[in-house]
Chain A
Amino acid sequence: MNDSGTRSTDPLLVAESLHKTYRLGDVEVPVLKGASLEVAAGEWVAILGSSGSGKSTLLHLLGGLDRPDPGAGRIVFDGGDISLQNRRERNIYRNRSIGFVFQFYHLLPELTVSENALLPTMVASSIPGARERARELLERFGLGHRLEHRPRELSGGERQRVAIARALANGPQVLLADEPTGNLDEGTGRGILDLLAQEHAEGLGIVMVTHDPSIAELADRVVELHHGQVMQTDPVSR
């Protein structure tokens, strides 16, 4: 939808022929079989695939939550190889450079809305202006009156907006969203997508996993994950 020209053409996040195999008892299940992907800074990429195609695994690898099989592919962010980084560096990468949004929101039930949104900042110990930024985000997302509420008091859409605010708290360059509207009705889901589009318009890169082509087409580009491989990388035509 938005083909803004402010975007740099150099890829920010690169996945090179990733392999990932899970072990279920004695059986080895290959999930990714040489998946490659390039995301430019500020680009919105949708990864389309049926369930079990390895979409979430790819997202986890991109987010540094997991590593590809040893020697089987690499992930480069801003010129640095994530898969070679130590734990500490990957913790910092997850905390500062990217933000995760999950299908089931994954808010901490004991914390209030504002505490949830501030959690990445607290984990980082201190980031100047983060508190104001989190509050501003929440207000921008229409949650200004909900700051001291607990997640269980919010609707699904509100919860997802808190989750997005949390993901953006430390000002990441890329948002990794795993079926962000998968648990919401269509109208509410549309609202969340509008919100993502709005952030994208301001320069946020997004990698969004979905099984719904109608949602995928909101992205700048759609890739399809099939049998553990990225099948096509056509620009979206609208």
Chain B
Amino acid sequence: MAGRSSVSSNAATFPMYQSLLTNRYLTSRIIPLLAIAAVALCVALVIVVVSVMSGFLEQFRAAGRTLIGDVIVSGSMHGIPYYDDLIERIERDPLADAATPVVETWGVLRMPYDETAAVQIWGIEPESFDRVTDFAETLYWDDIPGEAERFLIAAAIDRIGTELAGTLTLEQKVDLLEDRVPDNVDRSRESLARQVPTIPEADWITLLQLLGQYDAERLQTILDDAQWTMVLEADDWLVDDANIIRDGLAMNRLGRPAIIAGMHVSKGNVRTTGGTYEVQGNGRWWLPRFEGTLTTIRVDREGGINDPENIILPFANEFLSNVRMVDKQRVLIPLETAQEQTGLFEAPLVDGGIDPARATQLLIRAAEGVTPEELLERVVPIYEQFHTDRRDDIVDPETFPPPAFVSIVTWEEMQADFIGPVEKERMLMWILFSIVYIVCAALVLAIMWSIVQEKTRDIGILRSIGATRRGIVGIYLLYGLVIGIIGGIFGFFLGWLITYYIDDIHDMLGEPPMWLGIILLAGAGATIGWALVRMRSGELLPTVLGTFISIPLILLGAVVVWAAATGQGFVMWDADTYYFPDVPNSVDLPVAIITMCGGIVFSVLGAFIPAAKAADMDPIKALRYE
């Protein structure tokens, strides 16, 4: 027996019995899988909740910025005169990218469907407004929605009715009549031809309109090419869809200043779960084919109220900013029109001189890489200089707001009332949901406690062959660490997946598909079948498991089938409450990583107590443990 007691030790190598035992303990039982699943669910839950809150905040910030630029200059009720000069001065600064004037007022918009909507009116210069706010990208319609087209055709026929009716041949008139006469009347073409001369001119226009509205294709086959071209040319949108965007950008429709309304101002637009819009009444209530009456109440410079001003304007397009508040109440009109409505236009004064046009606000966009705060610091002195330079140009200097009366703020300050609470809410959520870490640690603790209990004799054996207390602690800490790491990684990806597909999941809840219900019910059936087979052997567990699994499946399946059959759904994210139509679906990566690490740390913390218990165990008692 050479070498007895002459043993060399090499403390540097990793004590492999710990990893070996951890590995075997993990792979030989179900409980660790439950612990891993629990950790994964905890981590995923926190990631989803915090990511949605963060995404909400980000959306809010992004939307706030695209809608109002980076810095906002608001004048007193007199407005800012010589704003073109001020814009020029601001745009000369390298930190500013663009600036645009806005005239803001409130009013009532009478809708084509005989209702009124209270609206916030923004008079804008479309071109510079687009440079500051990317307004062009928010224009919703770039072509005519299919079903609305026939209403445009009918309107076009109305415009050129007399002219078009005059070109109709007898054949065409007979064709037009053919569809319209009742069944009990002689419908032979000869008989119809005899009736043609008795029909007055105006009725042919009506017949053309009706057919255009209900069967445009049939009308096209009846009319010859020249006549059909005449119809299309009566409406520039029918000639070319692209003109819809052009009109929107120019805020001009058929040579008149036009309104661009927020997508949710009109009740004619209904959002689908896919995020697109359907026009109510089979295209009838497509807003851009109507005119609206805008009523504003002018508050004069002394604060008195003048008679309401009415103006009828066509709608040119609609915009979708995806900020519900804005989409629901804002309408855009040309700046000059708004100035006329509010009395801020350029006007000669009775006692000589000219009162300049004014804007209530200036929106400014920062140059690439410039923060709103940096830009703000430049704009304040620019306005001071502007006021000093131009103060004497104005007839009534009291109407030129001094710097102290002008509010110059960043968009964040402007939106602080909204952003502040959302930020606090996110923090609160994170803290509240971090309580699940304790659940996570408690689960690992309970599971490890039972494993330590079960493995008591192993601990005694290991101690009898010289394993140190630290070595025993190591086994169970490693165990907790592995559960934490696997659970954390699974949770990370689970949370990422759920967050990424949260809108699809939400849409599915909104309109649950029938197949989901059928799968759930089939699952319940299979579970019951399995339980019945196993119950015959007299086991209790299958009965309990079968009941616990099948009852929720049946309930869930029944609710889904009911919802799918009746078209009822579960809409949790109400766009009216949360301002945005979609649930934010971008994962907040730093938060997700911190959450995952938190899951791992708490799993190890949970393992500490059972590990310490294991280390403290009396080896002799442990060896005798049955």
Contact = CB atoms under 8 A, between A and B. Distances in A.
Partners in one complex: yes
Interface of A: 60, 63, 65-66, 78, 87-88, 91-97, 99-100, 102, 106-108, 110-111, 115, 119-120, 122-129, 166, 170-173, 202-204
A111 B7 contact: no
A94 B5 contact: no
Contact of A120 (B14, B465, B471): B465
Nearest to B1: A203
Contacts of B1: 171, 202-204
B4 A108 contact: no
Nearest to B469: A87
Interface string B402-442: 00000000000000000000000000000000000000000
A7 to B, nearest CB: 12
Interface residues of B, number: 36
B81 interface: no
Nearest to A171: B4
Interface stretch (B21-29, B263-271, B390-398): B21-29
Interface string B355-382: 0000000000000000000000000000
Given A87-B468, A123-B465, 6 more contacts: A60-B620, A91-B468, A94-B465, A110-B24, A127-B9, A204-B1
Interface in B76-133: none
A127 B3 CA distance: 11
B460 to A, nearest CB: 8
Interface string B8-40: 111111111100110011001000000000000
Contacts of A100: 464-465
Contacts of B478: none
Contact of A91 (B5, B7, B21, B466): B466
Contacts of B620: 60, 65-66
A172 B9 contact: no
25 contacts: A65-B463, A87-B468, A93-B466, A94-B464, A95-B465, A96-B5, A96-B7, A97-B5, A99-B465, A100-B465, A115-B20, A119-B17, A119-B465, A120-B465, A123-B15, A124-B7, A124-B9, A124-B466, A125-B13, A125-B15, A170-B7, A171-B5, A171-B7, A173-B4, A204-B1
B623 interface: yes
B467 interface: yes
Contacts of A124: 7, 9, 466
Nearest to A107: B461
A91 B470 CA distance: 11
Given A120-B465, A123-B465, A125-B15, A65 B619 contact: yes
A124 B17 CA distance: 10
A202 B623 CA distance: 29
B461 A108 contact: yes
Contact of B462 (A60, A110, A123): A123
Contacts of A115: 20
Nearest to A163: B461
Most buried by B among A60, A102, A125, A127: A125
Contacts of B20: 111, 115, 122
Contacts of A66: 619-620
Contacts of A96: 5, 7, 466
Most buried by A among B13, B463, B467: B467
Contacts of B28: 110
Contacts of A107: 461
B7 A108 contact: no
B501 to A, nearest CB: 39
Contacts of B7: 96, 124, 127, 170-171
B24 to A, nearest CB: 4
Given A65-B619, A203-B1, A108 B458 contact: yes
Contacts of B469: 87
B509 to A, nearest CB: 44
A237 B594 CA distance: 74
Contacts of B461: 106-108
Contacts of B15: 122-123, 125
Contacts of B8: 126-128
B466 A172 contact: no
Contacts of A128: 8
A234 B586 CA distance: 84
A94 B466 contact: yes
Contacts of B471: 123
B150 interface: no
Contacts of A172: 4-5
Given A96-B5, A171-B4, A171-B7, A123 B17 contact: yes
Most buried by B among A93, A100, A115, A126: A126
B466 A120 contact: yes
A92 B464 contact: no
B330 interface: no
A207 to B, nearest CB: 14
Contacts of B17: 119, 122-123
Contacts of A173: 4-5
B457 interface: yes
A232 B24 CA distance: 47
Nearest to B19: A122
Contacts of B9: 92, 124-127
B25 A110 contact: yes
Given A123-B462, A124-B9, A204-B1, A106 B467 contact: no
Nearest to B11: A125
Q: What 10 A-B pairs come out closest when comparing CB atoms?
A: A95-B466, A110-B24, A122-B17, A126-B10, A94-B466, A120-B465, A203-B1, A171-B4, A96-B7, A106-B461
A107 to B, nearest CB: 8
